[in-house]
């Protein structure tokens, strides 16, 4: 009978290189039985580095503008929709009148949560879209994808978003955006430093 306890390694002159770039994954390791090892071990000889579809992706240091656009817009929309739905549900529950049936109360809560969630989700999605575009533009213009480009993009996003309300509102919104980005960057650095993930 074949010995299934030792990992499969291809028989070639590059065995050492193969062992450095691949690891053996045993899905039945917790069973601690050699008979539980699958017969086709080469299927579980997995690479340790990320597998990329195109070799150009390996040279990228950060996110592309497309990644940023999708991530920031989608995350902001979902967060805004969830927060707006929660606020709308609370408003719907507060607005219930005594003597209403359960069906009518549920309809009121669903209507108000849907309306508030949609409104706040769309607003936050637009903010994420503007921020992603500005951050990508500032990063490519300065050649630096760091904290300053993130804060500058946040200040610009707030100013652009409230530009129609006048210069004072745009300046206040820009300051709020800059402060929010500063706190987010500091919080991210603190989490990286103090929270073992």
Answer yes or no: do 179 and 125 share one domain. no
The answer to whether 69 and 126 have CB atoms below 8 angstroms apart is: no
Coil, strand or helix: which one is 86? helix
In a domain, 196, yes or no: no
Host domain of residue 33 = 1-52
> What is the full per-residue pLDDT of the chain (197 aa) written as tens digits?
444 445 444 555 555 555 566 666 666 666 666 555 555 666 666 776 777 777 777 776 777 888 889 999 999 999 999 999 999 999 998 988 888 888 998 999 999 999 999 999 999 999 999 999 999 999 888 887 788 888 999 999 999 999 999 999 999 999 999 999 999 888 988 888 888 76
Alpha-carbon distances, residue 154 vs 27, 99, 170, 181, 182 (angstroms): 45, 48, 12, 6, 9
Answer yes or no: do 133 and 168 share one domain. no
């Amino acid at each position: 009978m074949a010995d299934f306890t030792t990992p499969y390694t291809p028989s070639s002159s590059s065995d050492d290189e193969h062992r450095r770039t691949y690891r053996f994954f045993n899905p039945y390791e917790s069973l601690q039985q050699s008979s539980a090892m699958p017969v086709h071990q080469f299927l579980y000889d997995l690479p340790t580095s990320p597998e990329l579809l195109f070799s150009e992706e390996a040279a990228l240091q950060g996110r592309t503008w497309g990644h940023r656009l999708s991530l920031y817009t989608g995350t902001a929309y979902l967060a805004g929709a969830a927060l707006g739905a929660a606020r709308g549900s609370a408003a719907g529950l507060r607005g219930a009148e005594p003597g209403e049936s359960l069906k009518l109360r549920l309809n009121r809560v669903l209507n108000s949560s849907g309306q508030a969630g949609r409104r706040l989700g769309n607003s936050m999605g637009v903010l994420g879209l503007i921020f992603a575009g500005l951050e990508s533009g500032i990063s490519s213009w300065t050649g630096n994808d760091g904290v300053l480009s993130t804060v500058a993009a946040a200040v610009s996003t707030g100013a652009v978003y409230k530009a129609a309300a006048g210069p004072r509102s745009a300046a206040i919104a820009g300051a709020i955006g800059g402060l929010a980005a500063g706190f987010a960057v500091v919080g991210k650095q603190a989490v990286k430093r103090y929270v073992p993930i």
